Amino acid sequence: MLLLIQYTLIFASVLLLVALGGCISEHSGIINLGLEGIMVVGALGGALVMRNFYTLPPALMVILALLAAALLGMLYSCLLGVASIHFKADQTLVGTAMNLLATAACTVFVKAINTAANPDDHSSEIEYVAGRKMFIVNINGFEFNWFMLVAIIAVVLVYIFLYKNKLGLRLMACGEHPQAADSVGISVVKMRWTGVLISGALAGLGGLCYILAGVSLWKFENGVAGFGFLALAVMIFGQWKPGRIAVAALIFGLFRALSNTYVGFPFLKALNIPSNVYNMMPYIVCLIVLAFASKNSAAPKAEGIPYDKGQR
Domain limits, the chain: 2-145+152-296
The count of C-alpha atoms lying within 13 angstroms of the C-alpha of 267, restricted to the half-sphere facing its C-beta, is 1
- Cβ burial of 47 (10 Å; 0-12, 13-18, 19+) is buried
- pLDDT classification of 154: cutoffs 50, 70, 90: very high
Whole-Å CA distances, 271 to 254, 275, 282: 19, 11, 19
Whole-Å CA distances, 310 to 90, 95, 173, 180, 192: 19, 26, 17, 12, 17
Cα 56 from Cα 200, distance rounded (Å): 26
Q: Which residue has the higher pLDDT, 1 or 197?
A: 197
- pLDDT classification of 122: cutoffs 50, 70, 90: confident
Cα 3 from Cα 117, distance rounded (Å): 37
Helix, strand or coil, per DSSP, at residue 29: coil
> Of all residues in the chain, what percent carry a pLDDT higher than 70?
95
Whole-Å CA distances, 241 to 63, 233, 244, 303: 28, 13, 6, 15
Phi–psi pair at 240, nearest 5 degrees: 60, 25
Cα 160 from Cα 31, distance rounded (Å): 22
Q: Which helix (H) or strand (E) holds 249?
A: helix 242-261
Q: Residue 260: pLDDT above 80?
A: no
> Which of these CATH numbers, 1.10.287, 2.30.29, 1.25.40, 1.10.3470, describes 2-145+152-296?
1.10.3470
Q: Residue 283: pLDDT above 80?
A: yes
| Core vs surface per residue 181-198: b (16+ CB within 10 A) or e | bbeeebebeebbbbbbbb
Q: Residue 70: pLDDT above 70?
A: yes
Q: What pLDDT, on the 0 to 100 scale, is given for residue 24?
A: 98
Indicate the pTM of the whole model: 0.95
